[in-house]
Structure 1
């Protein structure tokens, strides 16, 4: 049991040693340790503040990015809308021009056809007139070649004529 119960001398010397060690540690070790702990605490607080500032800046930049993206989409939609309107206008103008040009070409063709028809009709009339004159000339030559036929023709014409 001697091992379990300490002697008074041992307790006193242990207490004295502990107080000396506590004084030495208080003078030389605790100030630097507490200073390092305080410095580390300040460093961590600064890092947290910087992280919070960076988080706020990231949030602000994200909001700005979203706004710019929305604006770019709106501008894209406007540009696409204008391009579609311009395309429709160009197509409409091209159709109108094609219809106008087609109508003009049809009218020119109609005029040309009428001109060619008139020329052909005039040519046919001239040929008919020429042929009629040639036939009449041949018939008259044949009828007037014979004296008896001439007399018969004159007498027939005289009978037809009423005075």
Structure 2
């Protein structure tokens, strides 16, 4: 250390100090500003990327919430559509059953009317046949009764007696 103090030269020291100051000023003017600017730009870029990442995270969260909401709404709409479809199906089945019952009632009523008409026709035909048979039998009996003169006279007398009594 003694050696350093012995070799000390004030002119050299001033010259070195001036060179150091010039070097610091040149460094400040040409090197520090670009370095600090690039560091600031880098810091802003990193902050921008962090902000963008946070924004993207929030957007993803919002999109996920929107997707859940849309999915829930779709489920509700699907359930409503299924319920409507079931109601329509039930209504259609009920209407078809009512129509079938109505048709069956009409067919049964028509069949009963047809049976009643056939029954009336059969009864009328039976009455006609009975009347015809009765007339034929009466005709044969009367012919048989009136074929003999004695029987005719007895019949006339009987009718006169009946007429007198009345």
TM surpasses 0.5: yes
Over 6 Å off, 4+ runs: none
Q: Distance in 2 between matches of 1:103 and 1:66?
A: 55
Point out where structure 2 has 5 or more consecutive residues left out of the alignment: 1-15
Q: 1:134 aligns with which of 112, 133, 136?
A: 136
Other-structure match for 1:5: none
1:93 equivalent in alignment to 2:95: yes
Which residue of the partner structure matches residue 45 of structure 1?
A: 47
Q: Equivalences for 1:69-148 in 2 at 5 Å?
A: 69-147=71-149
- C-alpha distance in structure 1 between counterparts of 2:152 and 2:147, whole Å: 11
Which structure 2 residues correspond to residues 142-157 of structure 1 after superposition, within 5 A? 142-147=144-149, 150=151, 154=155
Encode CA deviations 1:6-40: one digit per residue, 9 max, x unaligned. xxxxxxxxxx8xx69x6455542343133112212
Unmatched 5+ residue regions in structure 1? 1-15
Measured on the aligned residues, the alpha-carbon RMSD in Å equals 3.3
Within-5 A mapping of 1:55-66: 55-66=57-68
Paired residues, number: 142
* Paired residue secondary structure (1:126): helix
Q: TM-score, normalised by structure 2?
A: 0.69
Using the TM superposition, give the Cα deviation of residue 152 of structure 1 relative to its aligned residue in structure 2, in angstroms: 9.6
